[in-house]
């Protein structure tokens, strides 16, 4: 419930920002001085809401060992989003009309993405965790696999493949994990604890 609420709050703040921008552009109800204060207030609220969203989505048991896991795919998606919104912002800003004030929303989203990535990195909110019977992967979203649904586990070339009975696959890049020994130890303990050693494919 908490992750859903945080997502709704963040999106609501963004809609409010767009609504205020449109009211400013198409009416005289908001002046130039007021719009600056509104942009600053709404912008800070959006950044805080985005950080809280990242935090709430990645929540798990406090006793669970989290293994920091930043993939290139995670960073690439954020980088593309930052560049895309920054470019849109530049185009709007230099449009020469009042719609340039919509550029603030674009620049805000770009800045927020950078801040959230730094926040996730410093707080270890992107991770792999083995919580009892659950495998939890927190990157762009929270992915969970139950040990009882595991069909096959393969290790090769620095990659660990975990496939369930629906053929859904988790690919864990152990080659980019700093503490590889901790990852291997936690994975082996998870396999033994849930009695799925027979699912390990060593071929």
Please give the pLDDT value at position 108. 94
Q: What are the residues whose beta carbons fall under 8 Å from the beta carbon of 59, sequence distance 6 or more?
A: 2, 3
Q: What is the DSSP string of 13-27?
A: HHHHHHHHHHHHHH-
Has residue 1 got a pLDDT over 70? no
Predicted confidence band of residue 31 (pLDDT cuts 50, 70, 90): confident
Give 123-146 pLDDT, tens digit per residue: 888 888 888 888 988 887 788 889
Give 90-99 pLDDT, tens digit per residue: 999 998 787 8
Give 71-118 pLDDT, tens digit per residue: 888 889 899 999 999 999 999 999 878 788 889 999 999 999 999 999
Predicted confidence band of residue 26 (pLDDT cuts 50, 70, 90): confident
Say what percent of the chain tops pLDDT 70.
96
Please give the torsion angle defined by the CA atoms of residues 148, 131, 1 and 138, in that order, rounded to the nearest 10 degrees. -100
pLDDT, averaged across the chain: 86
Q: What are the residues whose beta carbons fall under 8 Å from the beta carbon of 74, sequence distance 6 or more?
A: 126, 139, 140
Q: Sort strands 134-138 and 127-131 into parallel, antiparallel or unpaired.
A: antiparallel
172-178, long-range: CB < 8 A, 24+ apart: 172/69, 172/128, 172/137, 173/71, 176/69, 176/70, 176/71, 176/72, 177/67, 177/68, 177/69, 177/128, 178/68
CA geometry: angle at 138 spanning 133 and 141, to 5°?
A: 115
């Amino acid at each position: 419930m908490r992750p859903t609420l945080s997502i709704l709050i963040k999106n609501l703040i963004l809609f409010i920002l767009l609504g205020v921008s449109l009211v400013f552009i198409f009416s005289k109800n908001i002046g130039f001085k007021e719009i600056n204060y509104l942009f600053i207030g709404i912008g800070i609220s959006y950044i805080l809401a985005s950080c809280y969203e990242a935090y709430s989505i990645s929540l798990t048991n406090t006793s669970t060992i989290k293994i920091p896991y930043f993939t290139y795919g995670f960073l690439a998606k954020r980088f593309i989003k930052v560049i895309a919104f920054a470019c849109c912002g530049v185009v709007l800003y230099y449009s020469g009309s009042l719609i340039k004030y919509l550029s603030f929303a674009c620049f805000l989203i770009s800045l927020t993405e950078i801040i959230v990535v730094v926040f996730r990195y410093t707080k270890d909110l992107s991770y792999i965790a083995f919580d009892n019977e659950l495998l939890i992967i927190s990157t762009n979203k929270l992915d969970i696999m139950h040990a009882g649904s595991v069909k096959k586990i393969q290790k090769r070339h620095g990659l660990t493949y975990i496939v369930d009975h629906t053929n859904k696959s988790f690919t864990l890049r152990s080659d980019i994990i700093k503490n590889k020994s901790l990852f291997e130890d936690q994975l082996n303990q998870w396999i033994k604890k849930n009695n799925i050693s027979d699912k390990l494919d060593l071929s």
